[in-house]
């Protein structure tokens, strides 16, 4: 295909082409973003514990929302960091720092949400699994 020979400068022409670019983006996140890899590992651990504790569909729904919220906010944070670095050419700029800090704050908020959801889902599941208190 022509894309292998030159850089694409026009809009995607097909769904497979768009999908290929999206998968390239996910690959770049996994390859280059340490925090994204950490979040993927934590998500896999959560899935394993969810299977062990035989969670119900509503618990899976909340955990899935929490996991994808964190992963999505990590992706947005990476976008902000890359665009800011492109604009300021890796020079210190107070507005650039603010933008990066705010993006990182968004990740922190989604991580706090995920911790709350995890607690609300897993504390009762652990109590029930080990028949604690009754």
| Annotation marks residue 74 as catalytic | yes
Q: Which residues contact 35 (CB under 8 A, 6 or more apart)?
A: 74, 77, 107
Whether 3 has a pLDDT exceeding 60, the answer reads no
CATH class of the domain at 14-129? mainly alpha
Structure tokens at 4: 């292998």
The DSSP code for 4 is G
Distance of CA 70 to the CA centre of its chain: 4
CB count in 10 Å sphere of residue 13: 9
Q: How confident is the model at residue 5 (pLDDT cuts 50, 70, 90)?
A: low
At 4 the pLDDT is 58
**Exposed / middle / buried, residue 17 (Cβ in 10 Å: 0-12, 13-18, 19+):** middle
Question: What pTM does this model have?
Answer: 0.88
Q: Which of 32, 33, 74, 81 is catalytic?
A: 74
> For residue 3, what are the CA distances in angstroms to 14, 30, 123, 134?
13, 23, 50, 64
Structure tokens at 40: 């993927």
Structure tokens at 82: 């890359």
Question: Which residue is associated with the tokens 């009762």?
Answer: 124
pLDDT tens digits along 18-77? 999 999 999 999 999 999 999 999 999 999 999 999 999 999 999 999 999 999 999 999
């Amino acid at each position: 295909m022509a894309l292998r020979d030159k850089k694409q400068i026009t809009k995607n022409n097909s769904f497979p082409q768009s999908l290929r670019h999206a998968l390239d983006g996910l690959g770049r996140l996994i390859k280059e973003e340490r925090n994204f890899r950490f979040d993927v590992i934590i998500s896999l651990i959560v899935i394993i514990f969810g299977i062990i504790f035989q969670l119900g569909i509503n618990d899976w729904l909340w955990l899935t929302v929490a996991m994808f919220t964190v992963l999505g906010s990590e992706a947005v944070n990476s976008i902000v960091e890359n665009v800011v670095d492109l604009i300021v050419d890796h020079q210190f700029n107070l507005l650039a720092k603010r933008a990066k800090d705010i993006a990182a704050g968004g990740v922190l908020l989604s991580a706090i949400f995920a911790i709350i959801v995890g607690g609300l889902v897993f504390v009762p599941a652990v109590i029930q699994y080990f028949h604690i208190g009754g």
